[in-house]
Amino acid sequence: MRQSFLFPKTRKESPKEAESVNHKLLVRAGFIDQLMAGSWTLLPLGWRVITKINQVIREEMNAVGGQEMLMPLLHPKAIWNETGRWDKANEIMYKLKDAHNKEYVLSFTHEEIVMDLLRKNIKSYQDLPVSVYHFSTKFRNELRAKAGILRGREFMMKDLYSAHTSEKDLMDYYEKIKGAYSKVFRRLGFDFKVTEASGGVFTDKNTHEFQVLTEGGEDTIYYCDSCDFSENKEIFKGKEGDKCSECKKGKIVEAKSIEVGNIFPLGTWYAEMMRVYFMDKDGGKKPVWFGSYGIGPTRVMGTIVEVSHDEKGIIWPKVVAPFDIHLIELPGAKGTKEIYKKLQGIGKEVLWDDRDVPAGEKFADADLIGIPIRAVVSEKTGDKIEWKGRTSGKIELLTINSSINRLISTD
């Protein structure tokens, strides 16, 4: 990709209303644009990052048997009345009427929609278990639509739903998803805690959140410094410094965090409310056991920026960086196009800064955008490349072949 064609250009100043790091840097670097409070456009650079985040999630969901599909965003009132959530979740719903005065809601979640699918297609225990997921837009009337892309009224969500014949089968799969989510967040480089939480408007059972530790977080969690115990502020009964009740060894630590995922063991309530039954081995009629599991990719992107940046700009992990290499062409450079093609030839995604702007502006933009490797070609470098990692102070002069070998060896 030639940077001279990249839309839009970077900005020197942060938006006046920006308070959070992700808001400031993602807007300045040209990854997102705000339409209104809580509503964001994913610009080309931002969409590249989201696509890679989604692929990491997709791989781990497929690995535990999830089947990808896509469900509608406009839902009829009737289906939400079946569970009573048309009224129960009223505060966060966006409701509307059509020309015939029929009422609808924009999706804030899809439990009812999946249950409707199940009752149309599930007859026997032989049809279970089922595990389906999709990436789609969610709409929630967020009263505090701030903190950049972390807290939106319209945002992307990956939600997976599972249906089972028994509580044991549900909870076995619940633990499997807990492991899959942990793999996702480890691949993304997060320092996170699996944290017990309340079920909110989804269930009266306790659930689990995946909380990334960061001083810029809006959530507060309490975790043990010696074991896996972690609870969020809503349900924690003790205080910082207490001895952990689980392991009896460690002490409780209070920390700020950002929630990037959550999982819910929903039991049979949805099935009973919506009459979703199956025939068991003995011919008995039983309600389906149900689970729901969510990750917000746009929220993940914002969280990465919150925990991975410096005073110059964003520092993207290699796995989700918008490009692999930022190739910077300075006056007097020779063979830049050939280098660009060779790098692409080994499967690397390259942003080629071919703009007619000062070198200082190019370097500043490279640091702001945050691509892992900066490769400079100039009159000074001759037939070599000036090679620098985004977080490294070390600059090396390498041949193109040495550069290619290094890239191949680190894949």
Nearest to 161 by CA among 295, 297, 291: 291
Query: Which tokens in the block code for residue 23?
Result: 């808001």
Per-residue model confidence (pLDDT) at position 200: 67
Angle at 207 between CA 202 and CA 213, to 5 degrees: 115
Low pLDDT (below 50) residues in the chain: none
Nearest to 157 by CA among 165, 147, 149, 148: 149
Query: Which tokens in the block code for residue 105?
Result: 């809601």
Per-residue model confidence (pLDDT) at position 211: 98
In three-state secondary structure terms, 5 is helix
Per-residue pLDDT of 173-216, as tens digits, reads: 999 999 999 999 999 999 999 999 987 656 667 899 999 999 98
Indicate yes or no: pTM above 0.85.
yes
Mind giving me the DSSP string for 68-117? Answer: E----SEEEHHHHHTTTHHHHTGGG-EEEE-TT--EEEE-S--HHHHHHH
Residue 280 CB partners (closer than 8 Å, separation 6+): 125, 165, 286
Per-residue model confidence (pLDDT) at position 203: 66
Mean pLDDT of the chain: 96
* Start-to-end Cα distance in the chain: 21
Per-residue model confidence (pLDDT) at position 33: 97
